[in-house]
Amino acid sequence: MMKVLCTAIVALLPMAASAQWESPYMDRARKVLAKGLGQIGQWQTTHTTNQTVMQCTSCAQVVTVVLRQIDDYTKGSDFARPMDLYMAGRKALCRDLAADQTGRCLDLKAPGFFSLEQDDMIYEFVTPLGTSLLAGYVEGPKDATELPQAQNILRQAVKALSPRW
């Protein structure tokens, strides 16, 4: 499921890396992400205004990192706070994974850390900012040696999305 999502995201993001970004938080987070991940290996990077997708091209196994800012996250929902909507969605996803026996949630706690296990490990880091949700995830095989480093770097990049950083 997440592999399909990531593949779709990468396929839909042909924008050049030299584009002007509309968010100073995304600019700051991208710098943290690029600097940190550059120490792990070589990465193919695709940017849009509110999202960056990076896939390791020199890692022994595929590791993908996605960083995004979702504006008006609660628009059209019954939720007033972005984190409440996010947590409700993740709880529903966990129930579906367990019911379908296609995966399992390993950790689900606020604020902002979620991991699930299917074929790959997926770690998500989230922080609300007004009506927006600032988020990122790392996906890779459970035994990928670069996975723990990429998780720590993404955690720092998501923190950099916050104006309090």
CATH number at residue 116: 3.40.1000.10
Range of the domain at 62: 48-160
Cβ count near 3 (within 10 Å)? 14
Q: In degrees rounded to 5, what are phi and psi of residue 40?
A: -90, -40
Cβ contact 49:18 at 8 Å: no
Instruction: Identify the sign of the CA torsion 107, 43, 11, 50.
Output: positive
Answer yes or no: is 53 within a domain: yes
Greatest pairwise CA separation for the chain in angstroms: 44
Reduced to 3 states, what is the DSSP secondary structure of residue 62?
Answer: coil
Answer yes or no: is 146 within a domain: yes
Mean of pLDDT values over 69-87:
87
Answer yes or no: is 4 within a domain: no
CB environment 84-109: b (16+ within 10 A), e (fewer)? ebbbeebeebbeebeeeeebebeeee
Answer yes or no: is 35 within a domain: no
Write down the pLDDT at residue 160. 72
Tens of pLDDT, residue by residue over 88-101, are: 888 888 888 888 88
- The Cα–Cα gap between 160 and 153 comes to 11
Cβ contact 121:141 at 8 Å: yes
Tens of pLDDT, residue by residue over 11-70, are: 333 333 333 446 677 788 888 889 999 999 999 999 887 889 999 999 999 999 998 888
Answer yes or no: is 103 within a domain: yes
Write down the pLDDT at residue 109. 61
What's the number of CA atoms in the CB half-sphere (13 Å) around residue 110? Answer: 13
Write down the pLDDT at residue 100. 87
Tens of pLDDT, residue by residue over 98-157, are: 888 887 777 666 555 566 666 677 888 887 877 888 888 899 988 899 988 998 888 888
Mean of pLDDT values over 69-76:
88
Answer yes or no: is 11 within a domain: no
Answer yes or no: is 145 within a domain: yes
Q: Does residue 76 carry a pLDDT above 50?
A: yes
Answer yes or no: is 66 within a domain: yes
Pick from 134, 144, 141: nearest CA to 32: 134
When divided into structural domains, the chain yields a total of 1
Q: In degrees rounded to 5, what are phi and psi of residue 38?
A: -60, -25
